[in-house]
Structure formats: structure tokens, C-alpha cells
């Protein structure tokens, strides 16, 4: 992960300063989530035994401990229930405004997500937002076969243009 603005760290990867998940299947048992995300699909796991559908996805059902889970697709748009905007003092690697919102995705699922492509002061409660998938710096891994660069994606939501 390149560290912008700190020349001595340019081009170096510092795991402790990486806010994003390790997505590669070698290190992550829900890597399918990121494969789906790269196809612009927001997914999670559903328990085949009791139907519980938590987010984020799990490897074991939090209700009945079953590990018989299946992947299901979630809505790619929702409605803003509440939001916060940071306009100054945002963490290194982020740009102001840094907006987060609780989003209602329907079917009883609410999610806290970052909102992008939105100027400060524009987003309001009740506004429609849609999924936005973007590339993040790849993860450099040391594995048995040597060094591997694993591409990564992550998601946020963006306002639906009116």
C-alpha cells in the first residue's frame, strides 16, 4: 500500500498501516465475498439450517453454529438512515469530506458504510445510495511459491443522481 505524502515510505507495503482486509484465498476464508465484489455484487452468507443472513459474511452461523452456509446477493442500493461527515482531520490516506452512513438495504439489513463521490453537506437522511466498487492497492504476500501480488477491491456507496 503506497503511503501518500511520506517519501521514505513510497512504494513500500506496511501491513500495520493498511486499513483494508487481506482478501486473498490463502489468508481469508470469506475471499468469495471479494471475488463477488469484483463482479460488482454485494454478497453475504446465509445459513442453510436456520436462514440467518448476517453481514459481514461468516464461516459459522452466529445463531446456530452451523457451517452449512450459502452465498446470497444483497441489494446494491439502499436508503440513508443517518450519517456523519468529517470535513477536517481525516485519517492518513483519506480525503475530506469523509462521510459514513447507516444504510437500510431492505429485508431488515442495515449497514454502516463509507459514502464516496459526494460533496460535503449534500447527503441527507432518506437519500438513495448505490453500491460503488473500487480498486485498492494490491496485497503483496510471501507464500510457499514465492511472492505473490493479489489484486484487491473494496466497496462504498455513492448518492444516486437525481
Q: By the criterion CB under 5 A, which residues form the site for Zn ion?
A: 47, 49-50, 52, 61, 63-64, 66
Minimum CB distance to Zn ion, residue 104 (Å)? 23
Residue 53 CB, nearest distance to Zn ion (Å)? Answer: 10
**Contact present, 135 and 37 (Cβ < 8 Å):** no
- Residue number with CB closer to Zn ion (56 or 151): 56
CB 128 within 8 A of CB 106: no
Between 40 and 49, CB nearer to Zn ion: 49
**DSSP string across 79-133:** EEEEEEEE-SSPPTT--SSEEEEEEE-STT-EEEEEE-S--TT---TT-EEEEEE
Q: Closest approach of Cβ 63 to Zn ion, in Å?
A: 5
Between 47 and 105, whose beta carbon lies closer to Zn ion?
A: 47
Amino acid at each position: 500500500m503506497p503511503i501518500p505524502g511520506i517519501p521514505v515510505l513510497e512504494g513500500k507495503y506496511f501491513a500495520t498501516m493498511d486499513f483494508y482486509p487481506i482478501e486473498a484465498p490463502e489468508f481469508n476464508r470469506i475471499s468469495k465475498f471479494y471475488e463477488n465484489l469484483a463482479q460488482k455484487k454485494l454478497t453475504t452468507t446465509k445459513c442453510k439450517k436456520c436462514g440467518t443472513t448476517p453481514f459481514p459474511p461468516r464461516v459459522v452461523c452466529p445463531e446456530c453454529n452451523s457451517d452449512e452456509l450459502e452465498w446470497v446477493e444483497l441489494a446494491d442500493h439502499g436508503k440513508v438512515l443517518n450519517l456523519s461527515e468529517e470535513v477536517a482531520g481525516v485519517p492518513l490516506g483519506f480525503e475530506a469530506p469523509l462521510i459514513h452512513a447507516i444504510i437500510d438495504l431492505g429485508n431488515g439489513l442495515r449497514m454502516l458504510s463509507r459514502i464516496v463521490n459526494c460533496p460535503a453537506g449534500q447527503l441527507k437522511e432518506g437519500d438513495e445510495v448505490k453500491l460503488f466498487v473500487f480498486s485498492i492497492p494490491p496485497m503483496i504476500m510471501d507464500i510457499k511459491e514465492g511472492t505473490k501480488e493479489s489484486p484487491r477491491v473494496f466497496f462504498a456507496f455513492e448518492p444516486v443522481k437525481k
